[in-house]
Structure formats: structure tokens, C-alpha cells
């Protein structure tokens, strides 16, 4: 059950904004938002053009980039045959105690990139033949991303943009991204804000996350692919199943089916294992069991969610 298209999604949406002159206006508006920053659901209201002190994301005017390159480990419609052109941003607006990339998200390893440099990164990934530009952990750097897309689009960027987010996004940011992002790929980490507060150190995660995902779907709809099975536009949701149903997977899946779309492309992720500070936060101190993951899959089926990413880890395949 795959939604496919050849047109009209062959041309990224941001090129229309470029041609209309609106992409430049969006970049200027996003920069203004940084003066009292509301570009993620933290709503720090810090003037990030002058300082990063007090900003939970610890990021000022410039984005910090950890790495870039073709990535072959993403979902099938995203990685395709030539890889997804990923740009990994350092720091994060979440504080997950079990983060598997904590050196990047919590230590901020990387270097500050000017807008022109970030644009050149996008163009270099296009030159390498990647299927898309995959912006990983972008929520706290929306403004420099939009500015870089504006520069890159003038220089010939024409790949779909993937917004690969932890899901704690503000409507203000998403409205700026409307018509710029082609593929939204948010996490829906929790169906319980109490757990989110305890394990990711954020308030009202569920409320902000659900509002954001509904807006993302309004903008781009269900995931649509070309004749090769490569995503061109739409929504792809990720949910990491946690031990003891800590994330309330049942609530997340019910929400997707009832309030987003039963045709949502979903990666129900099975790879949880203890990282970072998980050992001090049981039951996160153990890996997911086969029974727990099977229960999550059964719940997805119960709610009629059939567009599940097909890949399974070797551990599960060997167990079945």
C-alpha cells in the first residue's frame, strides 16, 4: 500500500517561493524571530542574534554542524539507492536521558557554519547524487536553514528538503517552513507528557508535538513517492518503542490513526538500547524485548496503520 506520484511533486516547493521572491522574505522573517526566539516549542525568547546564553539549545545566530554526507541507514523511501544527503546539526532542544547521539546533542561537538557554507554543504550533497537534503535535528536552527536554502536555491539546489526533527516544534517555525520543506520526518516520542518531562526534560511535549504533526500533515499530506519508490513529498513519522511501554505507544498510534491519517507512513522503531544516562533511569536501563515490540506492531495493526517501514533488525528476524 504505497502512495506514488510522478507529478506535480517532482519540483521542490521552495523553488516556487524562490521564483516569487518569497523565499528571501521568509529568511528575513526567520532572522527577526531570533531576536525573541520562538522557533521551537521551548519559547526561550532569547535574542540569539546577540547571545546564546540562556537558550536551552545553546545555539546563537549560527548553526553548529557535526557532519554531512550520504546516509544509507534511513527509511527506504528516504535513502533510496544513492543515500540521503544528511546534515547533522549539533545541540538539540531536547534533553533525552537515553539519547544515542548524546555527544552531538548534549556536548555540541561540531563547528559553527556561516549561511553560505551551509548552502554549499547542501549543494555538495546534491553533487554527490543524494536523493534529498536531510536536515537532522533542525528545530533550533530553522532561521539559518531557511537563509541557507535561499542562497542554495539561487545557486541551483533542486532536491527535496527533509525536516528530520525530534518533534518539539513551534507553529511559528512551521509556518515559516510552509512551502519550503517537502518531507517532514518528525519523531512522536511520547503519548504521555509526564514521561516526556521526566526523560526528555520538556514541558507539554505531547500537546506541542501533536499540534506540530497535524500542521506538518496539513502542509504536505501523506508520503508520496516517485516511480522508484523515492519520497518526494509528505509526512513520515518515527516512534521509538521504549521498555515497559514507557512512551505510551498505544496513545501515539491511536492519535496518528484518528487525527493525522491512517495512511501515514510510520517507522515503528525497534532498536532501543540503553545509552547516555539510561542506566540511572530504569526501566530504560534494559533493551527492548521481542514481546514488547510485537505488542507495538499489533497495536499499529489494531488502529489500521499499515504503511510501516519494512525493515527489521537482524535480532528480530532471527527471533521470528
Alpha helices in the chain (DSSP H): 13-20, 22-33, 76-79, 102-105, 115-127, 142-154, 171-177, 193-200, 205-220, 249-255, 290-302, 314-319
Report which of 217, 49, 228 is spatially closest to residue 147, judged by C-alpha positions.
49
Task: Please give the DSSP secondary-structure letter assigned to residue 287.
Answer: P
By mean pLDDT, which of 4-18, 84-98, 194-208, 219-233 is the weakest? Answer: 4-18
d(CA 304, CA 268) in angstroms, rounded, equals 14
Q: What confidence tens digit (pLDDT) does each residue in 264-307 have? A: 999 999 999 999 999 999 999 999 999 999 999 999 999 999 99
Residue 101 confidence (pLDDT) = 92
For 107-157, the DSSP string reads T--SEEE-HHHHHHHHHHHHHTT-SSEEEES-GGGHHHHHHHHHHHHHTT-
Q: All 3 cell numbers of residue 106?
A: 548534549
Question: 271, 237 in Cβ contact below 8 A?
Answer: no
Neighbouring C-beta atoms of residue 169, cutoff 10 Å: 28
Cα–Cα distance, 179 to 21 (Å, whole number): 13
β-strand partners of 231? 225
240-263 confidence digits (pLDDT tens) = 999 999 999 999 999 999 999 999
First vs last Cα of the chain: how many Å apart? 23
The packing angle between helices 13-20 and 142-154, to 10°, is: 80
Instruction: Identify the CATH assignment for 13-31+58-319 out of 3.20.20.70, 2.40.30.10, 3.40.50.720, 3.40.50.300.
Output: 3.20.20.70
pLDDT confidence of residue 55: 82
C-alpha cell of residue 178: 510552509
φ, ψ at 100 (rounded to 5°) = -85, -10
**Span 146-150, average pLDDT:** 98
Q: What is the chain's mean pLDDT, rounded?
A: 94
pLDDT of residue 314: 40
Using pLDDT thresholds of 50, 70 and 90, give the confidence band for residue 2: very low
Q: Kindly tell me if the per-residue pLDDT of 132 is higher than 90.
A: yes
Contacts of 93 (CB under 8 A, 6+ apart): 40, 41, 42, 56, 57, 139, 140, 166, 168, 202
Tell me the pLDDT tens digit for each residue of 12-63.
999 999 999 999 999 999 999 999 999 999 999 999 999 987 788 999 999 9
pLDDT bin (cut points 50, 70, 90) of residue 9 is: low
- Exposure pattern of 91-102 as b/e (b: 16+ CB <10 Å)? bbbbbbbbbbbb
Instruction: Report the percentage of the chain scoring pLDDT > 70.
Output: 94
pTM above 0.85, yes or no: yes
Every domain of the chain and the residues it spans? 13-31+58-319
Cis peptide before 8 (omega within 30 of 0): yes
Amino acid at each position: 500500500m504505497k502512495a506514488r506520484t510522478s507529478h506535480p511533486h517532482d519540483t521542490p516547493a521552495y523553488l516556487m517561493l524562490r521564483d516569487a521572491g518569497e523565499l528571501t522574505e521568509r529568511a528575513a522573517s526567520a532572522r527577526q524571530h531570533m531576536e525573541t526566539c520562538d522557533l521551537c516549542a521551548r519559547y526561550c525568547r532569547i535574542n540569539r542574534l546577540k547571545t546564546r546564553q540562556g537558550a536551552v539549545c545553546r545555539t546563537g545566530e549560527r548553526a553548529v554542524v557535526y557532519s554531512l554526507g550520504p546516509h544509507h541507514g534511513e527509511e527506504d523511501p528516504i535513502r533510496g539507492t544513492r543515500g540521503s544527503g544528511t546534515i547533522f546539526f549539533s545541540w538539540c532542544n531536547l534533553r533525552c536521558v537515553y539519547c544515542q547521539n548524546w555527544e552531538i546533542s548534549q556536548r555540541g561537538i561540531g563547528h559553527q557554519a556561516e549561511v553560505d557554507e551551509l548552502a554549499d554543504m547542501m549543494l555538495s550533497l546534491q553533487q554527490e547524487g543524494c536523493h534529498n537534503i536531510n536536515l537532522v535535528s533542525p528545530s533550533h536552527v530553522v532561521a539559518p536553514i531557511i537563509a541557507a536554502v535561499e542562497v542554495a536555491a539561487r545557486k541551483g539546489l533542486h532536491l527535496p528538503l527533509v525536516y528530520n526533527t525530534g518533534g518539539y516544534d513551534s507553529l511559528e517555525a512551521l509556518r515559516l517552513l510552509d512551502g519550503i520543506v517537502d518531507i517532514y520526518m518528525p519523531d512522536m516520542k511520547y503519548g504521555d507528557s509526564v514521561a516526556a518531562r521526566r526523560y526528555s526534560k520538556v514541558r507539554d511535549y505531547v500537546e506541542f508535538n501533536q499540534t506540530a504533526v497535524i500542521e506538518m500533515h496539513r502542509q504536505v499530506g501523506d508520503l508520496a513517492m516517485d516511480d522508484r519508490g523515492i519520497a518526494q513529498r509528505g509526512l513520515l513519522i518515527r516512534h521509538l518503542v521504549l521498555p515497559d511501554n514507557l512512551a505510551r505507544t498505544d496513545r501515539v498510534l491511536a492519535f496518528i490513526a484518528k487525527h493525522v491519517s491512517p495512511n501515514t507512513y510510520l517507522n515503528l522503531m525497534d532498536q532501543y538500547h540503553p545509552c547516555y544516562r539510561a542506566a540511572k533511569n530504569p526501566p530504560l536501563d534494559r533493551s527492548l524485548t521481542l514481546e514488547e515490540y510485537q505488542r507495538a506492531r499489533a497495536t499499529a495493526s489494531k488502529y489500521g496503520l499499515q504503511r510501516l517501514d519494512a525493515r527489521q533488525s537482524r535480532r528480530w528476524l532471527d527471533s521470528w
